[in-house]
């Protein structure tokens, strides 16, 4: 693994917040293990191993029932580790894959049978090389008939340029980590306002209200500066939000979060039982376990 790599917390605390029954950790990853599932040659980082068994142990410890496992960029478009994890989950995990435009219909069908329900397009330049937008639109057209959606990862500064592309994709869209707002700016300001407008104008677009540890400048344990952003999205779009741990937390530099404390963050952004039920159970079940 990279010399400055921060590994996930070996012994997270038990959360105080009791998750509603059937809760889904709707954004997490597996890494390798590298000797079984080698990392991609084009990767931008080499992580520690983080296996499906470790993910499922964390799921049980925190009180989740299910996972949505998102293909990590360190595995490129080789979804082997993801599919292996889905198969080990006994139907308790669904997946978001990375695919290339030359993927065959048979390969897409096999991913679907394994539990994949979406693809991820990544626009974060430190993580991937650029893929032309025409290519991505072509992939979205291929997956639309399967009933899959597109997960998009970008940074707030890039939203003006991406706005029309995202709004016109032919599938439902899920935006990772609220489009990575700069939380030193106001949640009522123009930058986050553009993200809220995207959701308001496009009923097919969802948001993950994830990663306070990644977005926060004020830092742990409270991640207080992220609360107004996530709270606004949950309150305005309660039917189109998802939450996840982001375990094993790739590429964090400042600190490694305590996953139990991340769960305790949830009631601060979704303060009522009704909002929590939608965020943690109803919404992810609708998007990932409709069949």
Contact 218, 254 (CB under 8 A): no
Q: Whole-angstrom Cα distance, residue 238 to residue 240?
A: 6
Is 188 among the catalytic positions?
no
* Subset of 43-82 contacting ligand 0GY (CB under 6 A): 72-74
Contact 56, 89 (CB under 8 A): yes
Q: Does 25 contact ligand 0GY by CB under 6 A?
A: no
Q: Is 78 helix (H, G, I), strand (E, B) or coil?
A: coil
Q: Whole-angstrom Cα distance, residue 50 to residue 33?
A: 6
Q: Does 207 contact ligand 0GY by CB under 6 A?
A: no
Q: Does 251 contact ligand 0GY by CB under 6 A?
A: yes
Q: Given the complex with ligand 0GY, which of 72 and 241 has the nearer CB atom?
A: 72
Of 25, 49, 176, 246, which is the active-site residue?
246
Least distance (Å) between residue 31 CB and ligand 0GY = 9
Among 246, 263, 270, 284, contact with ligand 0GY (rule: CB under 6 A) = 246
Give the position of tokens 């004020």.
218
Give the number of other CB atoms < 10 A from CB of residue 80. Answer: 12
Q: Given the complex with ligand 0GY, which of 29 and 232 has the nearer CB atom?
A: 29
Contact 77, 99 (CB under 8 A): yes
Q: Does 250 contact ligand 0GY by CB under 6 A?
A: yes
Q: Does 1 contact ligand 0GY by CB under 6 A?
A: no
Binding mask 122-151 for ligand 0GY (x = CB under 6 A): -----x------------------------
Q: Whole-angstrom Cα distance, residue 12 to residue 161?
A: 39
| DSSP assignment letter at 7 | P
Q: Does 178 contact ligand 0GY by CB under 6 A?
A: no
Q: Does 159 contact ligand 0GY by CB under 6 A?
A: no
Q: Given the complex with ligand 0GY, which of 5 and 17 has the nearer CB atom?
A: 5
Helix residue ranges, H only, the chain: 52-62, 80-88, 105-114, 133-143, 159-167, 190-201, 212-215, 227-236, 259-269, 273-277, 283-288
Q: Does 176 contact ligand 0GY by CB under 6 A?
A: yes
Binding site for ligand 0GY (CB under 6 A): 29, 72-74, 127, 176, 246, 250-251
Positions marked active-site? 246
């Amino acid at each position: 693994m990279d010399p400055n790599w921060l590994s996930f917390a070996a012994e997270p605390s038990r959360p105080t917040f009791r998750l509603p029954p059937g809760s889904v950790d709707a954004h997490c990853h597996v890494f390798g293990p590298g000797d079984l599932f080698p990392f991609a040659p084009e990767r931008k980082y080499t992580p520690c191993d983080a296996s499906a068994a470790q993910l499922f142990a964390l799921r049980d410890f925190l009180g989740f029932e299910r996972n949505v496992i998102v293909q990590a960029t360190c595995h490129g478009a080789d979804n082997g580790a993801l599919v292996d994890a889905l198969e080990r989950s006994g139907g308790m995990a669904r997946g978001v894959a990375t695919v290339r435009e030359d993927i065959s219909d048979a390969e897409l069908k096999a991913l679907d049978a394994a539990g994949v329900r979406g693809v991820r397009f990544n626009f974060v330049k430190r993580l991937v090389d650029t893929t032309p937008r025409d290519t991505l639109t072509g992939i979205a057209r291929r997956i639309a008939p399967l009933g899959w959606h597109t997960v998009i990862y970008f940074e707030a500064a890039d939203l003006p340029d991406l706005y029309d592309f995202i709004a016109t994709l032919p599938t439902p869209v899920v935006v990772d980590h609220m489009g990575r707002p700069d939380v030193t700016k106001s949640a009522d300001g123009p930058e986050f306002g553009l993200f809220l407008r995207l959701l308001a104008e496009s009923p097919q677009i969802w948001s993950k209200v994830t990663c306070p540890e990644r977005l926060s400048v004020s830092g742990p344990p409270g991640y207080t500066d992220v609360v107004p952003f996530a709270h606004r999205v949950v309150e305005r779009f309660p039917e189109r939000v998802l939450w996840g741990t982001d375990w094993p937390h790739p590429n964090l530099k400042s600190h490694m979060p305590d996953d139990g404390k991340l769960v305790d963050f949830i009631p601060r952004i979704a303060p009522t039982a009704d909002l929590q039920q939608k965020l943690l159970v109803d919404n992810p079940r609708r998007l990932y376990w409709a069949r």
